[in-house]
Amino acid sequence: MASALPQPSRQSTSTPTGSVTSLSSTTRLKPLQLASDARRVSSASPSKLRSPARPSLGGGVQSNSSSSVTSLRSTSAAFASGGTDKGLRRTVSIASFPQPPKANSRLSTASVASSTSQTPRGSPDLVKSATGTTRKKSRLSSATTNSNRGSKTSSLNNGIDGKAVQNLAGIKDSEGLVSASSPPQSRSSSAQGSYSTSATTFDDTEDVGADSTTAGKKGPRPKEAKGNVLVSVRVRPDNGAHEGSRADGEWMVDGRRSLIAFKGKESYDYFYDNVFTTHDNNSRVYDSSAKRLVRRVMEGYHGTVFAYGMTGTGKTFSMQGTASSPGVIPLAITDIFSYIRETPHREFLLRVSYLEIYNERINDLLSASTATGPGAAAPQEEIKLREDSKRGVYATPLKEEIVQSPTQLLRVIARGDHARRTGSTQFNARSSRSHAVVQIVVESRERAPGGTSSQDKRAAVPPGGVRVSTLSLIDLAGSERAAENKERRTEGAHINKSLLTLGTVIARLSESKEKAANSTDKEGKHLPYRDSKLTRLLQPALSGNSLVSILCTIQTGSSGSAAPANTHTNETLNTLKFAARAKNNIVSHAKRAEEAFGGGNGDAGSRVLLERYRVEIQTLRAQLENQTKVQVENETKVEEERIEKEHEARHEEQMLEMQLARTALKERIEHLNRLILSSKSTGVNSSSATAALERLSRVSANLESGSRSLRSSASQSTLGASSLRRTVSQYSLASGDRSSGYQLQRSSLVPEDDDDTIGEYGDGNASLQMQITALQADLSDKNRYISTLERRLLQARRSSHSRMSMGLSQHKNSEDVDVTAVLRERDMEITELRIQLDDKDRMLTALRSAARQRDIAQMPMEAAGSEKQASQRNSEGNANVLASPPATGPTSPTNPVSPIKALEKEKEKDGKRKSADEMSRMLDEMIQDRVETGHLAKSSRGSIRVLSGTANRRESIGPVPPALGPRSAIAETPEADA
């Protein structure tokens, strides 16, 4: 069927000029490299066959003879360059995109296009050129058509179509329904659900040198034929009917030649940059129509891809795709990240926004408040379109999300998709009821040299500014006939109106260019961009500031459509006409975005997040460093203060200890002084007791037991001296100055030899009294000392608590050990002192009772003495007067004692013996008690010694003489033994 159709284009291809032949071979060889290598080629080879783009070129082209396509292209290149090498390089550097129809070609093709869409096949513009008739204009048009086709096939299909073109040249009558297969290199699915593609699968870098082999003088280079506007048509499979089998006409889709032809009441042939047949999948559509644009966006150009077509023809399918066949958006995302991975010398920042235009209102699809239904948040703030010189037209306020991975970006877009309005229409069960715009803003900057870590690199000042480019991926709502549902009708009215405005704008673009060329109205402000939000938003792209790729979707058959066949065909033809107009009218002079410097200079500067972030990072890092410095200083200060406080506390403690020691020593000195005085004046020691005993023995030889008991008490007093000595040693221990304590003890203690200590004024009674007093003083001393120790203990506890609460973990262990040791020592001291006190108490009790006993014993003795004196006096008197009876007393024959008195004396003697026995029993009990408590040890011979534990503590004092032990004193006293 297709072959039955006239094939004017094939004719034209079959009658190529030399340049066309050259194109074929060129594209076969390396279409992509050539495509990208526009700069060098344009400068190096002025004879490039390039469609002139500028209206001004028209004249020149027209003046050129059609037979000299080479010179024509050369001229166009010169025009494209604006007459300067620099401009030329710049313009051509982005020529990896197929060039739009240029001046004369546009002029001619504009007319062709308009006639194409309006005139049936056979009109001179198409048919004649296609058939190769020899009229000049036709040939010119034909040449243009061919070059367009050549360019698009070579540049967009990544080599595949280049091959197809070459084949095409040789197979004039090949079936147009065959389409080239998708390039196999493209992508494989990744674990994350994204698709890894190689952003470098084509060699279109500007740096690629001119390939002289492909830039033959005979034919145009593919890159020369490329433009910044790409128009593709995709044909959706027609379920339930065979293509071209509709009764109202026949369709022919030739993917290889990018041709769609219709033969009906009127016949049309449409050539585009790409024609995708029903067999072409999304991957191929992306590779041919958007991949290069995405790459250019990554290099700093603005790019717009939009899908246009009737409802249900596959716009959303092409843009979003499915899980098994991802569309343009996910594939573009994958490529963006592949490019970033493959460009290590630059750093990137991506932010994405997603909006929809629904019933002429802009909704932010990423804002949570877009959600509808119960529980939905308050309606979002109205989003308006604004314009400024740097950013062009933009929507505000619009949420932008920074994304760092393909998965994240896909997720953000999926969220937006979810929020987008869809509904059921006659053509599509899930029809998009709004125009949806995904905008990905790409910021990139040369990485700072030096430094290995990413931190170093970020800290360094980068060599260049930040380039900001935007990729807009737009899924338009489908045009449709009036629906029955009122809501759908309203939506449809808005959709149709905006699409109509878009069509009008595009249709008027050529007029605008003509006018712009001839008048001062360079901006083309007469174009009705403001008539709809869609055209307003697309204004920057349509007015030439960005690379554009338009994907028009059609369905040749009307199966599945509720619309009548002829209506459907008309709609499809309208889409094709729109595509043709777009192809012919839109001219892009997209330039690489300028690099912005500084974080906050003007609006553009403030928008550059990458720079703002860098500045912010630097500021924050400086702040962090300052804070760290301050923190370190503070910590040092706190540590110093802590150490100082610790020193102070230690010093205070030491002072306190010293003071205590001094107080203790003073008290001790006073006490010892008191003792010395006492011993001198009253003989408070064992000697006094012995003297008393001797006196007693002089009075009565029978009071041996009494003397023994007194001796015991003298021993007891020695024990007291010993305990006093111990007290001194404890004082010295407490003061921490053992040697001085020892000295004191050595120098001030009572002499150890009992015999030496017998005082002159030994009076048993007084001595006991004094001893009691001394012991009481000692007791009060000890009490004072205990309270001092308790105070110190409390202080030590308090200071240890405060130290612990200061959280000084580093000193904690050692101090804890110290404090615990000190506490333990103090506790032991206190315990020992208490034991001593108990001893003393018991001793006091014993001494008191001994004193009482003695007092009792003394009273009869004194009475007896006075009686004796009296009797002596009487006997003396009686002797003088009367003869005295002879003395009968055993003790003194001269002092005879009456039997009653002797009896009394016996009684008295018994009492004394009793009290002495009682005392020695008490002392024995005490000694036994001390032996049991482990203070003393009893040897088998009955001698007593101080235990080593106790002795150890007394080491500072020196060895305790055995005589000091009370029991030893008793044991070594022969009287006691007896």
Ligand X SMILES: Nc1ncnc2c1ncn2[C@@H]1O[C@H](COP(=O)(O)OP(=O)(O)OP(=O)(O)O)[C@@H](O)[C@H]1O
The binding site comprises 309-316
Binding of ligand X by 478 (CB under 6 A):
yes
Determine how many CB atoms are found less than 10 A away from the CB of residue 835. 14
Q: Do the beta carbons of residue 55 and residue 104 sit within 8 Å?
A: no
Burial category of 342 from C-beta neighbours within 10 Å (exposed 0-12, middle 13-18, buried 19 and up): exposed
Binding of ligand X by 313 (CB under 6 A):
yes
Both tokens of residue 838?
A: 């108990």
Binding of ligand X by 182 (CB under 6 A):
no
Letters for 549-568 (x = contact with ligand X by CB under 6 A, - = none) are ----x---------------
Give the annotated binding-site residues for ATP: 309-316
DSSP H stretches of helix in 157-314: 160-170, 282-289, 291-298
- Residue of the chain from 236, 467, 488, 803 that contacts ligand X (CB under 6 A): 236
Binding of ligand X by 283 (CB under 6 A):
no
Return the number of the residue (72 or 499) whose C-beta is nearest ligand X.
499
Binding of ligand X by 357 (CB under 6 A):
no
Return the number of the residue (320 or 334) whose C-beta is nearest ligand X.
320
Return the number of the residue (431 or 950) whose C-beta is nearest ligand X.
431
Residue 608: CB minimum distance to ligand X, A: 35
Residue 275: CB minimum distance to ligand X, A: 13
Binding of ligand X by 316 (CB under 6 A):
yes
Residue 187: CB minimum distance to ligand X, A: 18
- Length of the chain in terms of residues written: 978
Binding of ligand X by 277 (CB under 6 A):
no
Q: Do the beta carbons of residue 264 and residue 569 sit within 8 Å?
A: yes
Binding of ligand X by 788 (CB under 6 A):
no
What is the sign, positive or negative, of the torsion defined by CA atoms of 479, 482, 485, 488? positive
Binding of ligand X by 317 (CB under 6 A):
yes
Binding of ligand X by 308 (CB under 6 A):
no
Residue 236: CB minimum distance to ligand X, A: 4
Name residues contacting ligand X, limited to 874-913 (CB under 6 A).
Answer: none
- Per CB under 6 A, the segment of 116-124, 308-316, 454-462, 581-589 that binds ligand X is 308-316
Residue 331: CB minimum distance to ligand X, A: 15
Residue 622: CB minimum distance to ligand X, A: 52
Return the number of the residue (125 or 356) whose C-beta is nearest ligand X.
356
Residue 312: CB minimum distance to ligand X, A: 5
- Residue of the chain from 289, 432, 588, 727 that contacts ligand X (CB under 6 A): 432
- Of residues 978, 971, 919, 977, the one with CA closest to residue 945: 971
- Per CB under 6 A, the segment of 48-56, 215-223, 315-323, 352-360 that binds ligand X is 315-323
List of residues 6+ apart from 859 with CB closer than 8 A:
none
CA–CA gap between residue 420 and residue 524 (Å, rounded)? 33
Indicate the SS3 state at residue 599: coil
- What is the CB-side half-sphere exposure of residue 644 using CA atoms within 13 A? 6
Binding of ligand X by 131 (CB under 6 A):
no
Indicate the SS3 state at residue 967: helix
Residue 489: CB minimum distance to ligand X, A: 15
Both tokens of residue 826?
A: 């103090």
- Residue of the chain from 425, 679, 685, 715 that contacts ligand X (CB under 6 A): 425
Burial category of 771 from C-beta neighbours within 10 Å (exposed 0-12, middle 13-18, buried 19 and up): buried
Return the number of the residue (478 or 966) whose C-beta is nearest ligand X.
478
- Of residues 491, 489, 472, 479, the one with CA closest to residue 553: 479
CA–CA gap between residue 833 and residue 611 (Å, rounded)? 80
Return the number of the residue (202 or 317) whose C-beta is nearest ligand X.
317
Residue showing tokens 């599945």: 560
Q: How close are the terminal C-alpha atoms of the chain, in Å? A: 156
Name residues contacting ligand X, limited to 514-553 (CB under 6 A).
Answer: 553
Q: Do the beta carbons of residue 385 and residue 393 sit within 8 Å?
A: yes
- Per CB under 6 A, the segment of 147-155, 305-313, 697-705, 957-965 that binds ligand X is 305-313
- Per CB under 6 A, the segment of 30-38, 307-315, 601-609, 708-716 that binds ligand X is 307-315
- Per CB under 6 A, the segment of 245-253, 426-434, 680-688, 696-704 that binds ligand X is 426-434
DSSP 336: H
Residue 582: CB minimum distance to ligand X, A: 17
Q: Do the beta carbons of residue 39 and residue 92 sit within 8 Å?
A: yes
Q: Do the beta carbons of residue 600 and residue 466 sit within 8 Å?
A: no
- Residue of the chain from 140, 350, 355, 477 that contacts ligand X (CB under 6 A): 477
What angle is formed at CA 260 by the lines to CA 254 and CA 262, rounded to 5 degrees? 125
What angle is formed at CA 836 by the lines to CA 831 and CA 840, rounded to 5 degrees? 145
Residue 282: CB minimum distance to ligand X, A: 8
CA–CA gap between residue 119 and residue 112 (Å, rounded)? 9
Binding of ligand X by 431 (CB under 6 A):
yes
Return the number of the residue (99 or 434) whose C-beta is nearest ligand X.
434
- Per CB under 6 A, the segment of 86-94, 312-320, 585-593, 937-945 that binds ligand X is 312-320
Binding of ligand X by 311 (CB under 6 A):
yes
What's the alpha-carbon Rg for the chain, to the nearest Å?
61
Binding of ligand X by 309 (CB under 6 A):
yes
Return the number of the residue (91 or 318) whose C-beta is nearest ligand X.
318
Binding of ligand X by 423 (CB under 6 A):
no
What is the sign, positive or negative, of the torsion defined by CA atoms of 433, 439, 416, 192? positive
Q: How many residues bind ligand X (CB under 6 A)?
A: 17
Return the number of the residue (222 or 309) whose C-beta is nearest ligand X.
309
Binding of ligand X by 428 (CB under 6 A):
yes
- Residue of the chain from 60, 150, 159, 314 that contacts ligand X (CB under 6 A): 314
Determine how many CB atoms are found less than 10 A away from the CB of residue 117. 19
Q: Do the beta carbons of residue 13 and residue 257 sit within 8 Å?
A: yes
Q: Do the beta carbons of residue 630 and residue 129 sit within 8 Å?
A: no
Return the number of the residue (284 or 711) whose C-beta is nearest ligand X.
284
- Per CB under 6 A, the segment of 289-297, 311-319, 377-385, 965-973 that binds ligand X is 311-319
What angle is formed at CA 284 by the lines to CA 278 and CA 286, rounded to 5 degrees? 115
Both tokens of residue 817?
A: 């050990």
Calculate the CA 159 to chain-centre distance.
48
Residue 51: CB minimum distance to ligand X, A: 31
CA–CA gap between residue 290 and residue 292 (Å, rounded)? 6
Q: Do the beta carbons of residue 59 and residue 108 sit within 8 Å?
A: no
Residue 625: CB minimum distance to ligand X, A: 55
Residue 567: CB minimum distance to ligand X, A: 16
DSSP string, 16-83: --HHHHHHHHHHHH-HHHHHH-HHHHHHH-TT------STTHHHHHHHS-TT-HHHHHHHHHHHHTTT
Binding of ligand X by 66 (CB under 6 A):
no
What is the sign, positive or negative, of the torsion defined by CA atoms of 38, 40, 43, 48? negative
CA distance readout (Å), 833 to 778, 829, 933: 12, 6, 14
Residue 361: CB minimum distance to ligand X, A: 18
Binding of ligand X by 237 (CB under 6 A):
yes
Residue 283: CB minimum distance to ligand X, A: 12
Binding of ligand X by 315 (CB under 6 A):
yes
In terms of DSSP bridges, do strands 435-446 and 392-396 run parallel, antiparallel, or are they unpaired? Answer: unpaired
Return the number of the residue (477 or 926) whose C-beta is nearest ligand X.
477
- Per CB under 6 A, the segment of 117-125, 186-194, 220-228, 428-436 that binds ligand X is 428-436
CA–CA gap between residue 151 and residue 123 (Å, rounded)? 24
Binding residues (CB under 6 A) for ligand X: these are: 236-237, 309, 311-317, 425, 428, 431-432, 477-478, 553
